[in-house]
């Protein structure tokens, strides 16, 4: 089966970063990272989801956390230099990032936002993030993701 390269894959190629495009069966009624991990046959702690938040001081920023975890908004606010923050409304995701729900990648957004990744990513030789479209994940080294997304390593879940 031929997999069409996404913008994320092209950006990784340009940066000479090794990755693998991994397709999976999409369930429109379950876009969760847990479902993605099940489809990939992988540990859900290795499948990271990309969340876009808005803070009271710095405006938009991105957090990358293990797929089955909930972000701690107090920790996210603190690391991003905000007093408080919240997830952006779903209707803002596409115009702001160029990605839809269930396909938001920390690489290749319309504009770069400050990005933070949960420190457990370093527990693994490789992790998965969205390749920018539903049904496709990118498998890559967490160090490469940190470098390409210009992400800060921190604690984002309690």
Picking from 105, 111, 97, the residue whose alpha carbon sits closest to that of residue 33 is: 105
Q: What pLDDT does 4 receive?
A: 77
User: What is the rounded radius of gyration, in angstroms, for the C-alpha atoms of the chain?
Assistant: 14
- Between CA 110 and CA 115, with CA 113 as vertex, the angle to 5 degrees is 125
Q: pLDDT tens digits, residue range 91-116? A: 999 999 999 999 999 999 999 999 99
- Between CA 152 and CA 74, with CA 51 as vertex, the angle to 5 degrees is 70
Q: What pLDDT does 1 receive?
A: 59
Domain boundaries, given as residue ranges, for the chain? 7-154
Q: pLDDT tens digits, residue range 28-83? A: 888 888 889 998 999 999 999 999 999 999 999 999 999 999 999 999 999 999 99
Picking from 67, 69, 74, 68, the residue whose alpha carbon sits closest to that of residue 53 is: 74
Which class in CATH covers the domain with range 7-154? Answer: alpha beta
What backbone torsions phi and psi does residue 113 show, to the nearest 5 degrees?
Answer: -115, 155
Q: In the structure, what pLDDT confidence band is assigned to residue 2 with cuts at 50, 70 and 90?
A: low
**DSSP assignment letter at 4:** P
Picking from 90, 112, 96, 94, the residue whose alpha carbon sits closest to that of residue 11 is: 112
Locate the DSSP E strands across 25-133: 48-55, 59-66, 85-87, 115-118, 127-133
Q: 61 - beta bridge partners?
A: 53
């Amino acid at each position: 089966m031929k997999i069409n390269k996404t913008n994320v894959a092209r950006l990784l190629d340009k940066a000479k970063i090794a990755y693998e495009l991994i397709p999976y069966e999409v369930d429109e009624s379950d876009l969760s990272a847990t479902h993605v991990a099940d489809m990939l046959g992988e540990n859900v702690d290795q499948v990271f989801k990309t969340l876009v938040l808005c803070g009271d001081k710095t405006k938009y920023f991105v957090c990358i956390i293990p797929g089955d975890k909930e972000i701690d908004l107090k920790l996210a606010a603190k690391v991003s230099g905000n007093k408080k923050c919240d997830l952006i409304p779903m209707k803002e995701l596409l115009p702001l990032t160029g990605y839809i729900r269930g396909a938001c990648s920390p690489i290749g957004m319309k504009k770069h936002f400050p990005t933070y990744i949960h420190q457990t990513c370093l527990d693994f030789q490789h992790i998965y993030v969205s390749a920018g479209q539903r049904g496709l994940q990118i498998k890559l080294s967490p160090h490469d993701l940190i470098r390409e997304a210009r992400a800060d390593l921190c604690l984002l879940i309690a």
